[in-house]
């Protein structure tokens, strides 16, 4: 395993010989983006849609891995703080069979679309008081209006218009501003988890994965490497309620990652936080408004939030159905969604009924 944080690396970085200018995962975001790799085995064809001229707005104890073995910098480091008010970060998991970042670059050059869907969608909400973190999972087959294209499964918005259109679609649905976006593919998910030295999750009921290694998960605490963690957050066929249990597993995984990062002590030291973010950066795709310093600052600002207090929910749905063109879809619960939107607007997600 590559040693990601040697003294030589930190010295070089902190003296500015070669800083990596890229988007990175913050404390809360890292846990979420590493779940964003749910790969669909048999994806439906993209919806037939005419292009539009409408603008597109852009208590876990696993051993620490090399990602968490950062050394203290030679001098104190100041990181930027969070802006005033609540912050919303949209986390997207691409189901691409390859490198999403490279595919996105090639598509931009050729003017074509990237052949992938958003199989994981979670809006992370950081309230203005910074006392807690909230995650809103959005079902990938939720039927919504994609701006400029009409009704479709929400996961199709990624292929149609990239991460900016996904953010615009969800922003319109919830009547809220999406401040930043983060996307990861499954290859980089595995690498990040292995770089953390593995993760321990609490499995509510035993199951055997239907993917890849067919790993068996026992009830209780399971320690997972990158491949096993990938299968844990992907699995849906083993459960009677399919995607709904998969979402719950993702949420459990997020808590585990957040807890491990906190217990490692990396987030208590600004220099270590920056070094960690810098190493993770090349494995993520983030919006242009995020740079390494800004995201490291976000992580550091949230260092005192207890991961066990993180609160998760699934955006309300009204069961399943079939679209006019024969697709199996998840129906939106508009009244429930309106309540979530109102709570977001008032920065009162914690007051929603359980």
Q: Is the pLDDT of residue 24 over 60?
A: no
Q: What is the mean pLDDT of residues 110-122?
A: 83
Asked if residue 50 belongs to a domain, the reply is no
Q: Is residue 53 part of a domain?
A: no
Band of residue 44 on the pLDDT scale cut at 50, 70, 90: very low
Q: Is the CA virtual torsion 218, 221, 225, 231 positive or negative?
A: positive
Region of poorest pLDDT, from 16-25, 142-151, 167-176, 341-350:
16-25
DSSP 243-277: HHHHHHHHHHHHHHHHHHHHHHTGGGSHHHHHHHH
What integer best gives the mean pLDDT of the chain?
80
Q: Is residue 13 part of a domain?
A: yes
Asked whether residue 250 is domain-assigned, the answer is yes
Domain count, the chain: 1
Largest CA distance in the chain: 62
State yes or no: pLDDT of 151 exceeds 90: yes
Confidence grade of residue 336 (pLDDT, cut at 50, 70, 90): very high
Looking at the domain assignment, is residue 34 inside a domain?
yes
d(CA 170, CA 90): 9
The reported pLDDT for the residue numbered 210 is 96
What is the 8-class DSSP label of residue 237? T
- What is the per-residue pLDDT across 233-256, written as a single tens digit (0 to 9) for each? 989 999 999 999 999 999 999 889
Q: What is the C-alpha separation between 354 and 168, in angstroms, rounded?
A: 27
What would you report as the CA-atom Rg of the chain, rounded to the nearest whole angstrom?
A: 19
7-21, 36-50, 98-112, 114-128 — which one is most confidently predicted on average?
114-128
**344 has pLDDT over 90:** yes
pLDDT at 26 over 70: no
Q: Is residue 282 part of a domain?
A: yes
CATH number of the domain that residue 93 is part of: 3.40.630.190
What confidence tens digit (pLDDT) does each residue in 268-288 have? 888 988 998 898 888 888 888
pLDDT, one tens digit per residue, over 286-317 is 888 887 888 788 888 888 888 888 999 999 99
Give the pLDDT of residue 59.
26
Contact 229, 193 (CB under 8 A): yes
Greater pLDDT, 244 or 50: 244
- State the pLDDT at residue 307: 83
Domain that holds residue 326: 7-40+59-351
Residue 48 lies in a domain: no
Q: What is the pLDDT of residue 172?
A: 98
CA distance linking residue 344 with residue 88, whole number of Å:
9
Residue 51 located in a structural domain: no
């Amino acid at each position: 395993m590559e040693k990601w944080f040697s003294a030589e690396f930190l010295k070089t970085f902190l003296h500015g010989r070669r800083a990596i200018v890229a988007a990175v995962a913050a404390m809360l975001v890292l846990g979420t983006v590493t779940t964003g790799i749910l790969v669909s085995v048999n994806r439906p064809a993209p919806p037939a849609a005419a292009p539009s001229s409408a603008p597109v707005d852009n208590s876990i104890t696993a051993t620490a891995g090399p990602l968490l073995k950062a050394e203290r910098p030679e001098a104190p480091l100041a990181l930027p703080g969070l802006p005033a008010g609540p912050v919303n970060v949209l986390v997207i998991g691409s189901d691409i069979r390859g490198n999403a970042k490279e595919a996105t670059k090639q598509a931009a050059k050729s003017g074509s679309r990237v052949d992938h869907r958003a199989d994981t969608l979670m809006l992370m909400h950081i309230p203005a008081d910074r006392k807690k973190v909230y995650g809103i999972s959005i079902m990938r087959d939720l039927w919504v209006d994609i701006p400029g294209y009409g009704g479709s499964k929400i996961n199709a918005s990624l292929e149609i218009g990239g991460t900016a259109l996904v953010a615009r679609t969800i922003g319109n649905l919830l009547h809220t501003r999406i401040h930043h976006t983060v996307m990861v593919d499954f290859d980089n998910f595995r690498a990040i988890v292995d770089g953390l030295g593995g993760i321990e999750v609490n499995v509510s009921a035993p199951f055997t994965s239907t993917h890849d290694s067919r790993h068996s998960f026992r009830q209780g605490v399971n320690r997972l490497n990158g491949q096993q963690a990938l299968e844990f957050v992907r699995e849906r066929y083993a459960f009677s309620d399919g995607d709904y249990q998969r979402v719950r597993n993702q949420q459990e995984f997020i808590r585990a990652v957040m807890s491990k990062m906190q217990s490692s002590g990396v987030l208590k030291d600004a220099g270590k936080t920056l070094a960690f973010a810098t190493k993770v950066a090349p494995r993520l795709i983030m919006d242009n408004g995020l740079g390494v310093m800004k995201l490291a600052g976000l992580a550091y600002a949230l260092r005192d939030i207890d991961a066990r207090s993180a609160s998760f929910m699934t955006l309300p749905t009204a069961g399943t159905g079939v679209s006019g063109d024969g697709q199996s879809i998840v129906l939106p619960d508009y009244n429930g969604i309106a309540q979530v939107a109102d709570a977001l607007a008032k920065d009162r997600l914690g007051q929603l009924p359980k």
